Structure 1
Amino acid sequence: MTWRMRVRHRTGYSYDGEVVSSFNEARMTPLSDSTQTTLESRVEISPPASVFRYRDYWGTQVTAFDIHSPHSELVVTSTSVVETALRPRALSSLASLGWGELGTDQVRDQFAEWLAFTPRTDPDGELSALARESAGTSAPADAAIACNEAIRAAMEYRLGATGVHTSGLQAWQERKGVCQDFAHVTLAMLRSLGVPCRYVSGYLHPKSSAEIGETVAGESHAWVEWWDGEWVGYDPTNGREVADQHVAVARGRDYDDVAPLKGIYSGPKSSGLGVVVEVTRLA
């Protein structure tokens, strides 16, 4: 089964006065790979800007732009049409590598960047111990799911409980957070076990029974992928495998590698931020 979706993602900043100049990077163009195909995509910027597009180290398409005319508002709108395909692998320990194979020098060298802790995914002793306890003697695939079940049992999903700069450890200590936090805590646990894993940003269509042509309010979403012989996508927030309703935009070590929009500017402080995501099922 496949889904074809149109995703419209609008981010707007307003400022207390006129910004003299700004330099920005937008990571808002969905990926094309074995699980999805981006059929069309455009990024529109207001006020008009000089644009340069490239793929970063992690394979994400970046729209870099700078504005040198005075402006009191910045609006970036990405509109994409993406076709997704059902992931072929059902989660099963029978299909995964064992701990001995994951622990070889070859694997640890090849996936060193996906095994290294970052400031957002550095666990404390309690979280590392929970990972070991949850994993028990299970194979890596089952251990990864068990870690997620432990997180979901202990943490509450709560909007506004954390901020964009919150680390996984901070969210864990508060026992609450949003999808970004659930992903960071999961990565911290898996890396503490020696399982290569990465952060994925994108979108999730919230309605599995959506009618063709129906537009619904969506949000940016985050999940993880781990490697146990092949990459497996898993949504820690919802406790399920990544499937047709997920649209991947970027992959990295954590949120800092995939932030949808970031930059620097010269001028007064920002006085407002508005984000609107609309998702329409087309087929």
Structure 2
Amino acid sequence: MPIFNIHHITRYEYNRPVKESTNEIKIYPYQCPEQETLRHELIISGHPEVQVFTDYWGNRFGSFNVLPLHQELTIESKLVVRTTASSQLRINFHGSFEQLAQEVNGQLQLLELATAESIALQKEIEEIAAHIQERARSVAAAVEYCGEYIFKHFQYIKGITNIETTVDEVLQHRAGVCQDFAHLMLHILRTLGIPSRYVSGYICPNKNGMRGEGATHAWIEAWIPGFGWAGIDPTNNVWVTNNHVKLAVGRHFIDCTPVKGSFKGPARQILSVYVSVGYEDGHTFEEINNVNTPTDGSVTTEDGDSEGFANQQQ
């Protein structure tokens, strides 16, 4: 069972003093049997009191305020986590769509996660879904084929999308990054009636190497009848075992945004995000993102989208 040391720093710098910075953070490890938190230290500028709650999806999140004038806000997370999932797949590949319907019936959250939203290119999604269902004899097989389809037919290219990119735009680009592939896969699976949810977290060092390694990452989990939630990473075309560390789950990225908030003041901000993932053999993977998020005016400025862009577009 591997142990990972994860260091995650989010830093906002302002060109003039701001005040009343109110923030929500979802950088706590998700509580589940597949991972064990050995140590977690959170350091925030000014040492504000952090109130911790649990949201609708079961995510722990913190809320805090920095009221005095300040020109920098740093949120630092130092995490040591052991992944306890088996490196061998134990997913039920015999669960049928009929069995899925029985399990979902009456479960409001599963029903919500099995319902696809309407998009302009829904016909194209339906064609992909039909192609997948023709090959699949079980729910797990359909999920696996879906991840394989995205991996083979969509290019992994950084910089052509952002956190506001829609599924329609991903279909048009035929390219994107982990967040885009997660949203696309969610839409296809929900069109098939398979409950599925967005997952944010970290992808940790692997001897074979993976896209997005050493940085924050996004993948999905699908509900497999006779098994439960199973993670699959369409960016790398792999089922999730013990190289992924989970932070939050939800219907879309917005439910899992690592940091979001607002402040008061006519300031421009510069955001930088540093993430390092250290493996127990001493290897360390690092990534630094610098994002300019200029804002004008003397009212509230949204911080969260900028943090989400820097963290999730891997």
Fold shared, TM-score > 0.5 on shorter chain: yes
2:227 is equivalent to residue 227 of structure 1: no
Task: Please say if 1:101 is aligned against 2:71.
Answer: no
CA shift at 1:18, angstroms? 1.3
Secondary structure in structure 1 of the residue aligned to 2:127:
helix
Equivalence for 2:151:
152
Matches within 5 A, 1:164-179: 164-179=163-178
Whether the aligned pair in 2 keeps the contact of 1:108 and 1:115 (CA below 8 Å) is no
C-alpha offsets along residues 103-125 of structure 1, whole Å, 9 cap, x if unaligned?
34x61431112113358x89621
- What is the one-letter code of the residue matched to 2:162? G
2:35 aligned residue: 36
Q: Do the aligned residues in 1 keep the contact of 2:5 with 2:80 (CA within 8 Å)?
A: yes
CA contact under 8 A between 2:249 and 2:256: conserved in structure 1?
yes
Which amino acid is 1:58 matched to? W
Name the structure 1 match of 2:83. 84
Deviation at 1:238? 0.3
Look up the match of 2:245.
Answer: 247
Q: Describe the shift of the 1:108–1:175 C-alpha distance in structure 2 as closer, same or farther (beyond 3 A).
A: farther
Per the alignment, in what secondary structure is the counterpart of residue 82 of structure 2?
strand
Which deviates further from its counterpart, 263-272 or 180-189? Answer: 263-272
Question: What letter corresponds to residue 5 of structure 1 in structure 2?
Answer: F
Give the 5 Å matches for 1:108-119: 108-110=105-107, 111-117=110-116
Q: Any idea what SS the aligned residue of 1:136 has?
A: helix
Give unmatched runs, 5+ long, in structure 2. Answer: 282-314
Structure 1 length-normalised TM: 0.89
When structure 1 is superposed on structure 2, of 189-198 and 151-160 the one drifting more is 151-160
Distance 1:228 1:53, change over 3 A: same
Counterpart Cα distance in 2 of 1:254 and 1:122: 18
Deviations 1:157-188 (A, max 9, x none): 11111112222332222111111111110000
**Contact 2:205–2:279 under 8 Å retained in 1:** no
Distance in 1 of aligned mates of 2:146 and 2:26: 29
Q: Distance in 2 between matches of 1:234 and 1:194?
A: 17
- CA–CA distance in 1 between the matches of 2:175 and 2:14? 31
Q: Report the secondary structure of 1:50's partner residue.
A: coil
In structure 1, the residue matched to 2:124 is 126
2:32 partner SS: coil
Letter in 2 for 1:193: L
d(CA) in 1 for partners of 2:221, 2:127: 21
Partner of 1:213: none
Query: Does the 8 Å CA contact 2:29/2:247 hold for their aligned counterparts?
Result: yes
* 1:101-160 superposed Cα distances (whole Å, 9 cap, x missing partner): 2234x61431112113358x8962101221111221512111111112221222111111
| 1:93 partner SS | coil
| CA deviation string 1:228-272 (max 9, x = no partner) | 222111111000011111101111111010100001111234431
Instruction: Give 2:224's aligned amino acid.
Output: D
Conserved? CA contact 1:6–1:281, under 8 Å:
yes
1:244 is aligned with what amino acid?
Answer: N
Letter in 1 for 2:241: A
Consecutive aligned runs of 4 or more in structure 1 exceeding 6 Å deviation: none
Aligned residues: 272
Q: What code does the residue aligned with 1:272 have?
A: I
**Native 8 Å contact 2:115 2:191 kept in 1:** no
**Contact 1:219–1:277 (Cα < 8 Å) also in 2:** yes
Matched, 1:195 2:194: yes
- Contact 2:17–2:267 (CA<8 Å) still a contact in 1? no
What's the offset of the Cα at 1:90?
3.5
Question: Which residue in the other structure is 2:182 paired with?
Answer: 183
Contact kept, 8 Å, 2:14 with 2:268, in 1: the verdict is yes
**Percent of aligned positions with the same letter in both sequences?**
34
Instruction: From the superposition, tell whether residues 26 and 123 of structure 1 become closer, same or farther in structure 2 (CA, over 3 Å).
Output: farther
Letter in 2 for 1:237: T
TM-score by length of 2: 0.81
Q: Which amino acid aligns with 1:232?
A: A
Q: Give the secondary-structure state (helix, strand or coil) at the position aligned to 2:164.
A: coil
Q: 1:154 to 1:270 in 2, by over 3 A?
A: farther
Please say if residues 115 and 197 of structure 1, whose CA atoms lie closer than 8 Å, have aligned partners that are also in contact: yes
CA-based RMSD: 2.1
